[in-house]
Structures are given as C-alpha cells and as structure tokens.
C-alpha cells in the first residue's frame, strides 16, 4: 500500500513519456554498431589474450577490419568467411591477423555471409558458460539465508587485485553482502581492456577478466565459509562497456555499474557511442542475469540535491525504459539514487526519506541502489558517522535493496579496513534496531514528506515531457542532468560509431534476444 498516496496516473504518464524517449533513441541504436560492440562479439566467439606487444587480440582484429576492410558489415561477416575457408578457430584467425599472416580484406566485397553456421559452435560454447554461471548463482543464492533488509555493499580499491582480495574477504567476514571492486581512475577512457592480473592502479584496480576470475574465486571460497553467497560488482561503463559485460558474464559477476547517461555526462564519452554500447551490454546483462547499477546518484554531486531531485527520478524512468528495450526483467534494474541533501538544511532527513520512499513505491520490483552521503562529508569523522547513521536509517525504513555503506573517512582517504568495519557495525546495529520501523509508521497526508514526494514526481513529469519535446540529444546539450552540457557529435569515441551496412549480421544478439523473449535462456 502507498504511504505517499502518489498519483498513479502521473506515474504512468512518466513511464509513457520515458518509453517514447527511449524508443526514439532505439531507432538510432538499431541502425548503428560500435567498435566496442564488435570487439564484444569477438570475445563471445572465444577470442582472448594479447599479442607480443600486449595489444588485445580483439583490438588487433577490429583495427584491421576498420582500417583495411569495411567494418560496417560487422566482424561476423569476416570471421564466418575465414572460419569456413581456412578451417581455423576464431582464436587462430586472430593470431594470424595480428602476425599479418591473414588478411581479412579479401572478404570485404563478397556477398552477405552464408556461413554463420560455421561460427555458431563458438558462440554456443560461450553461451553455455554463461548459462552454467547463471544456474550456479541461482543455486548458491537459494542455499543462502533469506533476508528482507538492504544488502550491505562495500567497496575495495587498492589498485592491487591481490590486496583487494584480502580486503574483500575481510569485509565479507564482517558482514558485507556485496563487494564492489572500484575501477582504476581513467580506465573508462581506454578503448581497450587491459589483460591479466594487475597490481598497480590509481584510485582503484583495473577491470580485467583475470581480475574478475580471481576475485570471484576468492568470494566463492568465503561464501562457503560464511554459508551465504557474496555478490561481486565491477564497472561496465566507458568506452569498453559491452566488452566488460561480456567478461563479467563469463566470470559470473553478479552486478555491474551500467548506466545510459553517466559516461556521457561525467566522462564526456560521445552520446551516440554510449547509447549503442549500453543497449548491447544490457541485452547481454539480461541474458546473464547480471543486476545493473545505474548512476543517477552522481547528478547530485554537481547539482543541488534538493532543487534537482526530480532529475534523478526522470533519469530512473528513462533508464528503466532503456532496460526494458534490452529485454531486462525489473528484478535486474538496480536504479540509483542518493542521500545528498545538505545536512545544514532544516528537515533534511524528512526530504531524504521522502525521496527514498518515493523511489521505492514507484519502482517496487527493482533492486534500488541507494548511495551514501559524499558531497557534504567534511572530514569530521564524528559528524560523518552520524550522517551515515541517518542514511542507514533511511535505507532500512524505506526498504532499499542495494545499500552502499558510507565511510566516516569519505573526503579524507580511501577507506582502511578498520573504516569499513566501523561502517558495517553501524549498518548492522541500525538494521536490527530499525528492522520493522518502516512497517510501523505512516506519514501525515498533509505533511512535509508526502508533499515533497508529490512535488518531485510532478517536476519529473514536466522534465520528461520537455525531454520528449526537445529530444534526448538536445536535452543533454542543455545540461538537464547534473547541469553538465554535452554535444551530439562531441566527446570521446565518436570515431568508433558506424552505420550498419545492409549486409550487417550479428547472430549472437539475435539468438540472445530470441531466448530472452522465449525466457528459456537456451535450455
């Protein structure tokens, strides 16, 4: 039952408008591919590794096709011809292209490839791995104790994957349910994925398939010890968004940060590139049952959280529709929001609670990701602990799903294990003390909380209508989100966007979508 008495017609109007916005963008998405989507297809064919110069083999292939062939036909055109005529595996072909002993340009002017069946066994092998991972995850979660309180989410970010593993195990044993490995600063702007285990990184650890494998293995071991499944998170954003999802699906990551707008706004990645990449990555996430985490919470780090709360809600509606376009179940849509109103504002807690309750009521089936106070953390660890406690109370009261714990040392340094332990103790205490508090209280129909939720919803409706009128590209240019302006043909990565040739083929996407529509996941 609604505590906020939100207007159902207004909510449905927002969804209808957001759907129109997303479908308008989907037309552009369906007509294009990107260099990173094509590299993802190669990874799903089983291609991995680097050459003698440490260049990923998938990059060697796509660079060759982009420079010497016609990449608008897609990598499948060339790989299917090569596999058929050379009787080599995709990995062997990649090595041959890297060494310049194979030239795929001979297939450029041939007709639409009739040899897709020759490469399907390689795709099916990878899909089989993803299918097994999904079943294994489901079985381990089924064996875990059931809980209806927010899952405690903490981060590790040392730069060294082996040190990250130690910290992740420590956090899990202290009560963390979800471990996120923060990605090294700047990796989102690399147009390739580093290879192997890494021990150096600034502000985080490089997202690589080997790092994924090592951390997953470590968390599986501690899951057995703790008798509960510990989920693993990494970042699928930036110029390699779909590739990182492919690697995460293969290594059984459980959640990935995967937003339609974050890279555009905060990393100045071209908006066309981002929208196309996010679609492919979300279809793959849907198939692998990977929960996505969207990034609306970041808007409030550059915009005033009280004045611009409606932009978060508008973005949640849009992200929801983009996810639905990618055949994603609502149970995988980890829509984001944050506790970022200035503590100096009178009744700030009431306004934060209103936003959290509103998000919960509007997206009842989504595993909402609730972010802690960061913008107004000052370095005063005592006040910071209180701010985090109020955030924890809001999370438990409003039944948030994914609860990223705040650190008292936010704005001072990367958290020590002791800081993380204190944060987990804080959250555990409030989880017990406020366990059923949300079920026991109601809100004054004429009070500040209800009034605030209605105001934010109505403002979001108006913003969505304006975005529909202006179009998404023009709206982003106007800086409607986070007060940061971006341009349709600006940003990084535009050169990697290609209009699809009439002979373009992507059978792996077609198969995944067919299975998602049939909900049989290939079984």
- The token pair that represents 347 in the structure block: 């009744």
- pLDDT, tens digit, 9 for 90 and up, residues 374-426: 999 999 999 999 999 999 999 999 999 999 999 999 888 878 889 999 999 99
- Write down the pLDDT at residue 523: 37
pLDDT tens column, 281-290 = 999 999 999 9
User: 522 pLDDT exceeds 80?
Assistant: no
- 199 Cβ neighbours under 8 A, 6+ residues apart: 159, 160, 161, 162
Residue spans of beta strands (DSSP E) within 211-353: 231-235, 255-257, 291-293, 333-334, 336-338
* CA–CA separation, 241 and 274 (whole Å): 8
d(CA 181, CA 167): 10
Which pLDDT does position 206 carry in this prediction? 97
What pLDDT does residue 416 have? 83
Provide the pLDDT for residue 417: 87
- d(C-alpha 238, C-alpha 264), whole Å: 9
Write the secondary structure of 410-425 as one string of H (helix), E (strand) and C (coil): CCCCCCCHHHHHHHHH
> What percentage of the chain carries pLDDT values higher than 70?
99
- Chain segment 330-345, per-residue pLDDT in tens: 999 999 999 999 999 9
Tell me the sheet residues that pair with 183.
Answer: 205
Q: What is the pLDDT of residues 68-98, one digit of tens each?
A: 999 999 999 999 999 999 999 999 999 999 9
In this predicted model, what pLDDT tens digit does every residue of 125-136 receive, in sequence order? 999 999 999 999
What whole-number distance in Å separates Cα of residue 159 and Cα of residue 194? 13
Count of residues making up the chain: 523
Choice between 523 and 505, residue whose per-residue pLDDT is larger: 505
Whether residue 347 is predicted with pLDDT greater than 70 in this model: the reply is yes
Q: Is the dihedral of CA 423, 425, 431, 433 positive or negative?
A: negative
Instruction: Round to whole Å and give the CA distance between 107 and 235.
Output: 36
The token pair at 254 is: 């459980």
Residue 148 pLDDT level (bands cut at 50, 70, 90): confident
Residues 30, 230: Cα–Cα separation, whole Å: 36
Give residues with Cβ within 8 angstroms of 115, minimum separation 6: 80, 81, 83, 84
SS3 155: strand
Q: How far apart are CA 327 and CA 329, in angstroms?
A: 7
Q: What is the pLDDT of residues 266-321, one digit of tens each?
A: 999 999 999 999 999 999 999 999 999 998 999 999 999 999 999 999 999 999 99
Q: Could you give the CA distance from residue 12 to residue 320 in angstroms, rounded to a whole number?
A: 13
Going by CATH, does the domain composed of 149-453 fall within 3.40.50.2020?
no
Q: Is 517 exposed, middle or buried (0-12, 13-18, 19+ CB in 10 A)?
A: exposed
Question: Distance of CA 125 to CAs 130, 220, 250, Å?
Answer: 9, 23, 11
Model pLDDT for residues 205-237, shown as the tens digit of each residue: 999 999 999 999 999 999 999 999 999 999 998
Q: DSSP labels for 160-196?
A: -HHHHHHHHHHHHHHT-SEEEEPBPTTGGG-SS---S
User: Which residue numbers are catalytic?
Assistant: 262, 297, 369
Q: How confident is the model at residue 519 (pLDDT cuts 50, 70, 90)?
A: low
Rounded distance between C-alpha atoms, residue 181 and residue 522, angstroms: 30
Question: Is the per-residue pLDDT at 520 higher than 80?
Answer: no
On whether the CB atoms of residues 320 and 361 are closer than 8 A, the answer is: no
- At residue 291, φ and ψ (nearest 5 deg) are -75, 130
Residue spans of the domains in the chain: they are 149-453
Give dist(CA 463, CA 334) in Å, integer. Answer: 22
Mean pLDDT of the chain: 96
pLDDT of residue 259: 87
pLDDT score recorded for residue 28: 98
Considering the entire predicted model, what is its pTM? 0.96
């Amino acid at each position: 039952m609604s505590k906020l008495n939100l207007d159902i017609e207004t909510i449905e109007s927002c969804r209808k408008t957001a759907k129109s916005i997303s479908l308008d963008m989907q037309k552009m998405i369906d007509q294009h591919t990107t260099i990173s989507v094509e590299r993802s297809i190669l990874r799903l064919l089983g291609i991995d590794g680097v050459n003698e110069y440490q260049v990923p083999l998938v990059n060697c292939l796509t660079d060759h096709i982009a420079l010497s062939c016609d990449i608008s036909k897609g990598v499948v055109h060339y790989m299917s011809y090569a596999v058929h005529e050379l009787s080599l595996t995709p990995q062997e072909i990649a090595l041959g292209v890297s060494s310049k002993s194979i030239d795929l340009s001979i297939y450029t002017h041939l007709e639409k490839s009739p040899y897709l069946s020759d490469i399907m066994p390689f795709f099916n092998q990878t899909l089989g791995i993803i299918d097994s991972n999904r079943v294994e995850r489901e079985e381990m979660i089924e064996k875990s104790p059931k809980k209806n309180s927010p899952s405690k989410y903490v981060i590790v970010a040392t730069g060294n994957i082996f040190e990250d593993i130690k910290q992740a195990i420590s956090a899990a044993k202290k009560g963390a349910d979800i471990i996120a490995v923060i990605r090294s600063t700047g990796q989102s702007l690399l147009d390739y994925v580093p290879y192997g285990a890494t021990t150096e990184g600034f502000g985080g650890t490089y997202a690589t398939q080997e790092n994924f494998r090592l951390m997953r293995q470590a968390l599986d071991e501690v899951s057995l010890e703790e008798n509960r499944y510990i989920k693993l998170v990494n970042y699928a954003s930036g110029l390699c968004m779909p590739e990182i999802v492919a690697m995460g699906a293969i290594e059984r990551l459980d959640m990935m940060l995967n937003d339609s707008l974050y890279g555009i706004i905060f990393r100045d990645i071209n908006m066309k590139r981002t929208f196309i990449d996010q679609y492919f990555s979300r279809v793959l996430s849907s198939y692998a049952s990977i929960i996505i985490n969207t990034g609306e919470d970041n808007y409030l780090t550059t915009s005033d959280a009280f004045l611009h709360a409606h932009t978060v809600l508008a973005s949640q509606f849009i992200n929801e529709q983009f996810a639905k376009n990618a055949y994603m179940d609502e149970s995988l849509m980890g829509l984001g929001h944050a506790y970022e109103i200035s503590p100096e504002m009178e009744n700030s807690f009431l306004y934060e609670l209103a936003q959290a309750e509103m998000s919960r009521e509007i997206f009842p089936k989504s595993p909402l990701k609730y972010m802690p106070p960061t913008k107004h953390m000052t370095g005063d660890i005592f006040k910071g602990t209180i701010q985090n406690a109020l955030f924890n109370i809001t999370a438990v009261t409003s039944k948030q799903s994914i609860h990223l714990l705040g650190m008292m040392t936010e704005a001072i340094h990367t958290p020590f294990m002791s800081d993380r332990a204190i944060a987990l103790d804080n959250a555990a205490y409030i989880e017990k003390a406020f366990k059923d508090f949300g079920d026991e209280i109601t809100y004054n129909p004429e009070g500040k909380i209800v009034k605030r939720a209605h105001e934010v919803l109505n403002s979001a409706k108006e913003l969505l209508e304006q975005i529909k009128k202006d179009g998404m590209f023009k709206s982003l240019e106007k800086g409607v989100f986070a007060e940061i302006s971006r341009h349709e043909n600006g940003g990084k990565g535009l050169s990697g966007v290609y209009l699809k040739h009439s002979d373009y083929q992507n059978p792996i996407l077609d198969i995944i979508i067919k299975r998602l529509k049939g909900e049989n996941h290939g079984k």
